[in-house]
């Protein structure tokens, strides 16, 4: 019969058997659920954040007084190499993937990522990269800095196998991020809820999309570069050896062609978190949705064209310097636009000072400083004085601590109730913010002056001249305040897991679909995926619920998720 024939042609899923759900640690090791993988990512990267922080504090102790002998030069060089590499490759980039893993499917109304098994592989490769790198602590950790400039990273000058551990860390975390990026891209492109066109995509998802594209464009370059470094070190090639016709500057070009997009890879998802948090707590739609989404894409594009502003002091023709100054200037425009839009989002709103909002506003106020000092560094004659000094250290920490870390903490306070079903304690959160905010400014503001006084970065000791001793002591004190602030949040999170107030599905009256489901969400995320009619689907849903319950409003309880 024709009717039955067509019926058999319809593809269908047949379950041959239903496995009992895994329990205990096995459920974590074997999981392909994006939420569990997201939690694995978040916890693992946070552990690396603490490790990187301890390394930073050890360095600050060493620099607390002039001519200090607390650390040996070799240990100090290892520490800044570990610190930089950890914070970038094992914390900021993958924690964004952690948030992405957990919230991307929820925000677009999907039931999982496009490739759940690939997703699990991404996480385990990340962990493997981190372990390979940190195991070098037991023999000889790398000492060439997170930039591993040739020829210092060549075998002649870095015999230690720690250098090779660094190379394998780049490879493993690189493949992890690439797989993750492909997964994000495929998920966003194909699995959005009905009605969610590109113009209704949450801004955090827009930034994740750009994050994914940037990773796909930039990571193969560093993967190639470290492979060349590996063959230079062990198989007799001379890509970066001027004696064999290679060129040390080739490394710098390849590294920064990846390295500068990496900066935007680290900060763009942070921009996304800020763009989600501000409208929720100002009770006002985001100001200029299209401008913010467009600025994200423009920043990503320009981010690929500015790499040699890290190389203004290398032998370069003037026209090259001018090109990279102008392209770096250009990138300040979309960044500025975003900051203006965020301030305008608060304008005429009703701002509720919850901890996520504090971190988001803290982000704007300190990231601005990092952005402004970036313009100083883009002017190449000025960069000749500031390059490789503590001014640059201050700039990059304003961008990465004041920028990415604050955004990450805003994300932690904003989404912790969704992940765990419990609220974080507001008082501890605010104290944590206060210590971190003051800590960041005390630590890094003074470092501009340290740099202007002529102190280069990456030196294990400095002489007692001028105010260097005092300035460095201030910076060291600030770093411990910052560290204390971070630990308050760790304590808050651990404490709230048991003692936190039950959150309910929508404690903040959010705008996006992750608040539509329970906290924590069930394995399948949503029993019903709602049709999306605007950028703020949850606002529509709340309005609809209110309308439907209106006639009997005296009797029926408040709609689920309206009370904090």
Q: Stretches 18-26, 31-39, 108-116, 289-297: which one binds another protein (CB under 8 A)?
A: 289-297
For residue 10, with 0-12 CB atoms within 10 Å meaning exposed, 13-18 middle and 19 or more buried, which class applies? exposed
Nearer to another protein, 243 or 551 (CB): 243
Cα separation, 353 vs 358, in Å, equals 6
Q: Does the annotation mark 25 as catalytic?
A: no
Active site residue 496: no
369 touching another protein, by CB under 8 A: yes
Taking alpha carbons only, the member of 334, 275, 272, 273 closest to residue 303 is 334
| Alpha-carbon distances of 408 from 45, 486, 516, rounded to whole Å | 11, 12, 22
On whether the CB atoms of residues 184 and 115 are closer than 8 A, the answer is no
348 in contact with another protein (CB under 8 A): yes
Choice between 349 and 520, CB closer to another protein: 349
Closest to 525 (Cα-Cα) out of 116, 24, 28: 116
Question: By C-beta, is 181 or 358 nearer to another protein?
Answer: 358
The H-assigned helical ranges of 400-467 are 406-420, 426-452
Query: Is 518 annotated as catalytic?
Result: no
Residue among 57, 304, 445, 473 that touches another protein (CB under 8 A):
445
- CA–centroid distance for 163 within its chain: 25
Pick the binder of another protein from 111, 253, 458, 533 (CB under 8 A).
Answer: 458
Interface pick for another protein out of 46, 184, 416, 460 (rule CB under 8 A): 460
Question: Which one of residues 116, 195, 349, 520 is an interface residue with another protein (CB under 8 A)?
Answer: 349
Nearer to another protein, 113 or 369 (CB): 369
523 is a site residue for another protein (CB under 8 A): no
Of 48, 25, 28, the residue nearest 38 (C-alpha): 28
Spatial contact of 109 and 526, defined as CB atoms under 8 Å apart: yes
Give catalytic status of residue 185 as yes or no: no
Which span sits near another protein by CB under 8 A: 88-96, 132-140, 144-152, 187-195? 144-152
Q: Which of 70, 301, 323, 340 binds another protein (CB under 8 A)?
A: 340
Residue 234 touching another protein (CB under 8 A): no
395/229 Cα distance (integer angstroms): 29
Largest CA distance in the chain: 95
Q: Please say if 335 is a catalytic residue.
A: yes
Q: Name every residue whose Cβ is closer than 8 Å to that of residue 131 and which is 6 or more positions away in sequence.
A: none
Closest CA to 356 of 286, 294, 417: 417
CA atoms within 13 A on the CB side of 496: 26
Positive or negative torsion for Cα 335, 185, 39, 528 = positive
- The reply on whether position 206 binds another protein by CB under 8 A is no
Please answer whether residues 211 and 163 qualify as being in contact, where contact means their C-beta atoms are separated by less than 8 angstroms. Answer: no
Is residue 382 part of the contact set for another protein (CB under 8 A)? yes
Site for another protein in 15-74 (CB under 8 A): 73-74
Is 112 among the catalytic positions? yes
Asked if 477 touches another protein (CB under 8 A), the answer is no
Token pair of 62 as six digits? 């060493």
From the list 194, 381, 551, 557, which residue makes contact with another protein (rule: CB under 8 A)?
A: 381
Q: Distance between CA atoms of 437 and 369, rounded to whole angstroms?
A: 13
Nearer to another protein, 78 or 525 (CB): 78
Q: How far apart are CA 281 and CA 480, in angstroms?
A: 30
Q: Per CB under 8 A, does 315 bind another protein?
A: yes
- State yes or no: residue 438 binds another protein (CB under 8 A): yes
Shortest distance (Å) from residue 330 CB to another protein: 8
Q: How far is the CB of 159 from another protein (least distance, A)?
A: 12
Cβ distance to another protein smaller for residue 231 or 385: 385
Interaction of residue 546 with another protein, rule CB under 8 A: no
State the number of CA atoms in the 13 A half-sphere of 267 facing the CB: 27
Residue 198 within binding range of another protein, rule CB under 8 A: no
Q: Is 176 a catalytic residue?
A: yes
126: alpha, beta or left? (left if phi > 0; alpha if psi -120 to 50): alpha
Region 77-136 residues binding another protein, contact defined as CB under 8 A: 77
Binding status of residue 556 toward another protein by CB under 8 A:
no
Residues 6+ apart with CB under 8 A from 202: 107, 108, 272, 276, 511, 512, 535
Rounded distance, CA 416 to CA 190, Å?
A: 27
Provide the terminal-to-terminal Cα distance of the chain, rounded to the nearest Å.
Answer: 59
Rank residues 285 and 504 by Cβ distance to another protein and give the closer one: 285
Catalytic residue from among 260, 395, 397, 418: 260
Q: Which of 22, 137, 189, 347 binds another protein (CB under 8 A)?
A: 347
Q: How many residues bind another protein (CB under 8 A)?
A: 94
> Whose Cβ is closer to another protein: residue 314's or residue 549's?
314
The residue annotated as part of the active site, out of 457, 460, 462, 471, is 457
359 binds another protein (CB under 8 A): no
Does the footprint of another protein cover residue 389 (CB under 8 A)? yes
Identify which of residues 230 and 330 has a Cβ nearer to another protein in the complex. 330
The footprint of another protein on residues 245-284 (CB under 8 A) is: 247-249, 282-284
Q: Which residues are catalytic?
A: 83, 112, 146, 176-177, 260, 262, 264, 275, 309-310, 335, 338, 457
């Amino acid at each position: 019969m024709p009717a039955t024939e067509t019926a058999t042609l319809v593809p269908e899923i047949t379950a041959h058997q239903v496995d009992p759900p895994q329990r205990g640690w096995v459920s974590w090791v074997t999981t392909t659920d994006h939420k569990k993988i997201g939690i694995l990512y978040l916890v693992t990267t946070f552990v690396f954040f603490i490790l990187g922080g301890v390394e930073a504090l050890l360095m600050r102790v060493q620099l607390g007084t002039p001519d200090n002998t607390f650390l040996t030069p070799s240990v100090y060089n290892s520490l800044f190499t570990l610190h930089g590499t950890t914070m970038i490759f094992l914390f900021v980039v993958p924690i964004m993937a952690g948030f992405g893993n957990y919230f991307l499917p929820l925000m677009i109304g999907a039931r999982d990522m496009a490739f759940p098994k690939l997703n699990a592989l991404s996480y385990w490769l990340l962990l493997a990269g981190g372990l390979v790198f940190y195991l070098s602590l037991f023999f000889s950790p790398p000492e060439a800095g997170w930039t591993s400039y040739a020829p210092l990273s060549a075998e002649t000058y870095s015999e230690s196998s720690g250098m090779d551990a660094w190379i394998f860390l780049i490879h493993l975390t690189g493949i992890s991020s690439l797989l993750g990026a492909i997964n994000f891209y495929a998920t966003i492109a194909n699995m959005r809820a009905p009605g969610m066109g590109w113009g209704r995509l949450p801004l955090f998802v827009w930034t994740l999309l750009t994050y994914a594209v940037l990773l796909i464009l930039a990571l193969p370059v560093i993967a190639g570069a470290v492979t060349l470094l590996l063959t230079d070190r062990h198989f007799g090639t001379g890509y970066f050896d001027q004696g064999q016709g290679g060129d040390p500057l080739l490394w710098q070009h390849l590294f920064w062609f990846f390295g500068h997009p990496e900066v935007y890879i680290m900060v763009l998802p942070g921009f996304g978190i800020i763009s989600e948090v501000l409208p929720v707590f100002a009770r006002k739609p985001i100001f200029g949705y299209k401008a913010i989404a467009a600025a994200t894409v423009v920043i990503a594009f320009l981010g690929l064209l500015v790499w040699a502003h890290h190389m203004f002091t290398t032998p370069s023709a003037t026209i090259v310097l001018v090109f990279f100054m102008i392209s770096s200037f250009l990138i300040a425009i979309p960044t500025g636009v975003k900051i203006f839009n965020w301030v305008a989002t608060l304008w005429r709103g009703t701002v509720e000072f919850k901890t996520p909002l504090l971190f988001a506003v803290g982000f704007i106020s300190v990231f601005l400083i990092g952005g402004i000092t970036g313009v100083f560094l883009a002017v190449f004659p000025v960069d000749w004085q500031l390059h490789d000094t503590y001014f640059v250290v201050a700039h990059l920490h304003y961008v990465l601590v004041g920028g990415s870390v604050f955004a990450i903490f805003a994300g932690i306070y904003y989404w912790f109730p969704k992940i765990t079903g419990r609220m974080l304690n507001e008082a501890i959160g605010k104290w944590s913010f206060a210590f971190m905010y003051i800590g960041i400014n005390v630590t890094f503001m003074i470092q501009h002056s340290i740099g202007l006084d002529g102190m280069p970065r990456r030196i294990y000791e400095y002489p007692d001249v001028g105010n260097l001793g005092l300035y460095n002591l201030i910076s060291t004190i600030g770093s411990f305040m910052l560290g204390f602030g971070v630990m308050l949040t760790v304590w808050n999170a651990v404490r709230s897991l048991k003692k936190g107030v039950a959150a309910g599905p929508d404690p903040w009256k959010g705008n996006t679909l992750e608040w539509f489901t329970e906290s924590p969400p069930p394995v399948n995320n949503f029993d019903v995926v709602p049709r999306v009619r605007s950028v703020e689907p949850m606002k529509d849903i709340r309005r609809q619920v209110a309308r439907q319950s209106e006639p009997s409003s005296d009797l029926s309880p408040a709609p689920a998720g309206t009370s904090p």
